[in-house]
């Protein structure tokens, strides 16, 4: 049986923020969320969160059935933190100890670590660093780990050791319950070090098996904004490489951000500075232009999204043409070959097959049939100041430029709306409708001038 303990009590003073450190964001999710998701993949019996600073904020976000939260009222060291959950651990479980500010730890690494634990052995995750300054050193005798010495407590010889402690370990609950009560704070920082259990294990004859991560960045923690930015780019670079391995063309992988999940079909092309949030799916042959933001949306095969578009909570079928500078707000649904042009905004709108809203228009709370042409400057007036109303437009309707369609209204198949019209009544099939005043000229009219101050 596996239980996971995640230490998440620290304030993170170097972040210079009122937000608890573990709740700061990496790829659109809190650091701690990344760790919890990795922990869940191991299928543990329970995930124990040790919280402290900002406990209310953390607990509110992680109020889930499989998560048990324990408050560390005083931060007296990592050993003290783990001790807070001792009474909640089952004796026959393996305990995996993780950190809420180390968000890039990988599932495969944790599986390898947990496999090292038995009744007479434990697992320790170490890493070799060219510059180990600040890290606890792994002390070995005849190849066997005998202790971890924190940097502040290490002597000159020990500080030459490049193998360091990551803090991540896996150990039986029985051993933790035996060793943690024996910890003392007789060290440079006056804290209860979790690492001191290594010497206890060695003295007792428990084998300390070690494993190293495939990448050193897996065990990099975040203590300041610079490290946060560094891990963000590592995360995005790894994701970009995965996408390219699967056939996606990224015109500049260094200028790509995914803050959720992105699923791509064959032969997709993504230009620079694009941001994907939530769950986004791109079909085959999709092209995304520069500076696009796509949120929780599905883009169909062979659709082109031109530069500077924002698409949110929308579904686009195949061969659509979007932008540039278009905004598709939640509830927009586009059928095959629909076109949304520059400076067009849609919301809660169904755009039929082959229909076009080419420029400078707003279409909200509307249903458009097939082969509709909406001229520049057209607005569906869907809000009366208190309630929203729907505009229904049939097939093959032509709407002239600078038209206001005052909802609720129904425009039937084949109708034509003359430019500059304000339409307040339903329009019948194949009708031509003009709703504008007769043009008049006034000779000698004087334009107003500014009054002198």
Residue 444: CB atoms within 10 Å? 4
Same domain, 157 and 73: yes
Kindly report the backbone phi and psi dihedral angles of residue 288, in degrees, each rounded to the nearest multiple of 5, phi listed first: -115, 120
| pLDDT above 90: residue 11 | no
CA pair distance 71, 145, nearest whole angstrom: 32
pLDDT given for residue 442 in this prediction: 81
CA pair distance 302, 291, nearest whole angstrom: 19
Closest CA to 45 of 87, 4, 92: 4
Same domain, 210 and 234: no
Is 377 contained in some domain? Answer: yes
At which of 219, 253, 276 does a domain end? 219
Q: Tell me the per-residue pLDDT of 387-396, one tens digit each, with 9 for 90 and over.
A: 999 999 999 9
Which single residue is written with the structure tokens 């951000």?
Answer: 257
pLDDT given for residue 130 in this prediction: 93
Domain that holds residue 37: 2-219
Is 441 contained in some domain? Answer: no
Is 236 contained in some domain? Answer: yes
- Residues serving a catalytic function are 359
**Residue ranges of the binding site for UDP-N-acetyl-alpha-D-glucosamine:** 7-10, 21, 72, 77-78, 99-101, 136, 150, 165, 223, 329, 347, 362, 373
| pLDDT above 90: residue 238 | yes
Is 443 contained in some domain? Answer: no
Q: What is the bridge-based pairing of β-strands 25-26 and 333-334?
A: unpaired
Same domain, 256 and 293: yes
Closest CA to 77 of 159, 195, 228: 195
- Would you say 27 and 259 are in contact if contact means Cβ atoms under 8 Å apart? yes
pLDDT given for residue 47 in this prediction: 97
Is 390 contained in some domain? Answer: yes
Is 448 contained in some domain? Answer: no
Closest CA to 247 of 284, 294, 275: 284
Looking at the 3D structure of the chain, how many domains does it have? Answer: 2
Overall average pLDDT of the 345-357 stretch: 98
Any idea what the CATH number is for the domain that residue 388 is in?
2.160.10.10
User: What is this structure's pTM?
Assistant: 0.90
Is 439 contained in some domain? Answer: no
Overall average pLDDT of the 188-204 stretch: 91
Same domain, 329 and 419: yes
Same domain, 258 and 336: yes
Q: Show the DSSP H helices in 62-166 as ranges.
A: 78-83, 107-114
Same domain, 131 and 278: no
CA pair distance 5, 124, nearest whole angstrom: 15
Is 307 contained in some domain? Answer: yes
Per the prediction, the chain carries an average pLDDT of: 95
For residue 380, name the pLDDT band (cuts at 50, 70, 90).
very high
Same domain, 185 and 288: no
| pLDDT above 90: residue 48 | yes
- Would you say 151 and 134 are in contact if contact means Cβ atoms under 8 Å apart? yes
pLDDT given for residue 448 in this prediction: 78
Same domain, 181 and 72: yes
Overall average pLDDT of the 372-390 stretch: 96
Overall average pLDDT of the 37-62 stretch: 96
Kindly report the backbone phi and psi dihedral angles of residue 135, in degrees, each rounded to the nearest multiple of 5, phi listed first: -100, 150
- Would you say 300 and 283 are in contact if contact means Cβ atoms under 8 Å apart? yes
| pLDDT above 90: residue 223 | yes
Same domain, 272 and 417: yes
Report for 22-31, 188-197, 443-452: range of highest mean pLDDT: 22-31
Q: Tell me the per-residue pLDDT of 396-442, one tens digit each, with 9 for 90 and over.
A: 999 999 999 999 999 999 999 999 999 999 999 999 999 988 878 78
What are the Cα distances from residue 86, in Å, to 91, 96, 175?
10, 13, 11
Q: Tell me the per-residue pLDDT of 271-309, one tens digit each, with 9 for 90 and over.
A: 999 999 999 999 999 999 999 999 999 999 999 999 999
Helix (H) or strand (E) holding 409: strand 409-411
Residue 406: CB atoms within 10 Å? 17
| pLDDT above 90: residue 451 | no
Q: Tell me the per-residue pLDDT of 110-160, one tens digit each, with 9 for 90 and over.
A: 999 999 999 899 999 999 999 999 899 999 999 999 999 999 999 999 999
Same domain, 270 and 390: yes
Kindly report the backbone phi and psi dihedral angles of residue 403, in degrees, each rounded to the nearest multiple of 5, phi listed first: -110, 140
Same domain, 152 and 198: yes
pLDDT given for residue 362 in this prediction: 98
Q: Tell me the per-residue pLDDT of 82-111, one tens digit each, with 9 for 90 and over.
A: 999 999 999 999 999 999 999 999 999 999
Any idea what the CATH number is for the domain that residue 150 is in?
3.90.550.10
Same domain, 192 and 335: no
Any residues with CB less than 8 A from the CB of 385 and at least 6 apart, and which? Answer: none
Q: What is the bridge-based pairing of β-strands 94-99 and 163-172?
A: antiparallel
């Amino acid at each position: 049986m596996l239980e996971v303990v995640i230490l998440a009590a620290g304030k993170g003073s170097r972040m210079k923020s009122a937000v608890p450190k573990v709740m700061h964001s990496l790829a659109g999710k809190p650091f701690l969320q990344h760790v919890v998701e990795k922990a869940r993949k191991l299928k543990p019996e329970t995930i124990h969160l040790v919280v402290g600073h900002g406990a209310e904020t953390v607990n509110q976000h992680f109020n889930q059935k499989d998560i048990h939260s324990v408050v560390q009222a005083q931060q007296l060291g990592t050993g003290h933190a783990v001790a807070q959950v001792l009474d909640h651990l089952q004796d026959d479980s393996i305990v995996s100890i993780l950190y809420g500010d180390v968000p890039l730890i990988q599932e495969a690494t944790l599986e390898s670590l947990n496999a090292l634990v038995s009744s007479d052995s434990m697992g320790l995750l170490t890493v070799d660093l060219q510059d180990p300054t600040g890290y606890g050193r792994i002390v070995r005798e005849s190849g066997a780990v005998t202790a971890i010495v924190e940097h502040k407590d290490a002597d000159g010889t020990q500080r030459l050791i490049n193998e360091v402690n990551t803090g991540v370990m896996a150990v039986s609950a029985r051993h933790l319950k035996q060793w943690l009560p024996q910890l003392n704070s007789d060290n440079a920082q006056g804290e209860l070090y979790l690492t001191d259990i290594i010497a206890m294990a060695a003295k007792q004859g428990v084998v300390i098996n070690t494993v190293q991560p495939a990448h050193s960045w897996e065990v990099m923690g975040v203590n300041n904004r610079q490290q946060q930015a560094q891990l963000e780019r590592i995360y995005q670079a790894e994701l970009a490489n995965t996408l390219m391995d699967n056939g996606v063309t990224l015109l500049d992988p260094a200028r790509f951000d995914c803050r959720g999940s992105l699923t791509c079909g064959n032969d997709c092309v993504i230009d620079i500075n694009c941001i994907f949030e939530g769950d986004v799916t791109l079909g085959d042959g999709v092209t995304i232009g520069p500076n696009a933001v796509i949120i929780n949306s599905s883009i169909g095969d062979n659709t082109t999204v031109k530069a500077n578009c924002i698409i949110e909570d929308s579904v686009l079928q195949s061969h659509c043409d979007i932008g540039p500078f278009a905004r598709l707000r939640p509830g927009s649904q586009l059928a095959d070959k629909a076109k949304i042009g520059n400076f067009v905004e849609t919301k809660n709108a169904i755009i039929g097959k082959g229909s076009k809203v080419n420029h400078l228009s707003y279409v909200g709370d509307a249903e458009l049939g097939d082969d509709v042409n909406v001229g520049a400057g057209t607005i569906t007036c869907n809000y009366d100041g208190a309630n929203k109303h729907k505009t229904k437009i049939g097939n093959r309707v032509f709407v002239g430029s600078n038209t206001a369609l005052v909802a609720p209204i129904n425009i039937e198949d084949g109708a034509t709306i003359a430019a500059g019209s304000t339409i307040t009544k339903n329009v019948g099939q194949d009708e031509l409708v003009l709703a504008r005043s007769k043009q008049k000229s006034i000779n000698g009219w004087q334009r107003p001038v500014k009054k002198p101050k």
